[in-house]
Amino acid sequence: MAVYLDNNATAPVRPEVKAKVIEAMDVLGNPASVHAGGRASRGVIEAARVDVATLVAVKPPSITFTSGGTESNALALQSAVMAGMERIIVGATEHAAVSENARARGPAVEVWPVDANGVADLNWLSDALKKPGRAVVCLMAANNETGVIQPVAEASALVRAAEGWLHVDAVGAIGKMDVDFNAMGADTMALVSHKLGGPFGVGALAAGPRSKIARVIHGGGQEQGRRGGAENVSGIAGFGVAARLAKQGLPAIAAQAAWRDHLQARLEAVGSVALGATVPRLPQTLGIAHQGYEAVLQVMSLDLAGIMISAGPACASGKLTPSATVAAMGHGHLADSAIRISGGWASTQDDWTRCGDVWLDAYAKFDARRKVA
């Protein structure tokens, strides 16, 4: 039986989500229409908006539905620049959905360094914000490769004191830790459906009162005038269900920390290095490296045995390249041997145990061949 431990790339679609998507497909009417069918379709969207808003503790009007996390990040950055932010500061371990969109916005991107655990350097940020020009600062809630949780609230205090704009990519954090938009002090926050067990192609941008969302996609004034185009009604319906179930399932996800730690100890016993292991991490994420044992070999060996993991972010067109995140942490010697193991709503303790069994068997064979050579 296949074991899926690549939930930070995407999670299996929940049965309840599938049922809701099909149900929503049977609702006849454009949500912009005023007749009964249109009102029913609008009701589906607004019910989902409540569930997504509840997931991150905001009011429903704060939510703008998008096509996914990348669009949400792009919309936030474009809005910040159009609102007068003159500088862009991006964390060194941010996902390409943030860093690449930042580079496309106009102002030069300033890279905010992290320490050896992958935690953003707040002293650096404090000094950077003293320079001329208001800045939009990008800091993910938790790293998708290592699980390291960032000091978002502390960064927010610095950004607000400098009259800047804090954008938080929470795509990898929602459903795996409690995410409170206001407690974090975010101005905008990117969310996505498919990492919660919802459908692909649906995301959202949460926005606070200090931010003004610019309309980038023009059209019929949908999404409270923030994003033109007919909404993806069935996808949004599925997102709502996934968001509600993800919030309910946080205690079960938290329990996976013990399974992760057990696997970590087994791999460390043969010389592997856990990344960010001394700071708070997502409970179901293990970033680990073994110098000299290339990530591509690890992923392939496990895949042949029916174990699905990854070597870094999934949005690299299927390529396995050395981890930029690990390099930014100062561990360049481990960048090409780092893998990510990530559980989700459907993962079991047996999945984590089997992953360890297979990895250790594959490593033993690799090590034997290396010694002979």
How far is residue 166's CA from residue 335's CA, in Å, rounded to a whole number? 29
Ranges of beta strands (E only) in 36-134 are 63-66, 87-91, 109-112
Cα dihedral sign, 238-251-145-342: negative
Ranges of beta strands (E only) in the chain are 3-4, 63-66, 87-91, 109-112, 135-138, 165-169, 188-192, 203-207, 273-274, 285-289, 307-308, 338-342
Q: Which residues pair with 341 in a beta bridge?
A: 286
CA 31 to chain CA centroid, nearest Å: 29
CA 190 to chain CA centroid, nearest Å: 8
Q: 177: closest CA among 209, 203, 152, 212?
A: 152
Q: 165: closest CA among 77, 92, 96, 99?
A: 77
Are 175 and 195 spatial neighbours (Cβ–Cβ below 8 Å)? yes
**From 157, 296, 297, 315, the catalytic residue:** 315
Active site residue 315: yes
Cα dihedral sign, 92-98-103-105: negative
What are the catalytic residues?
315
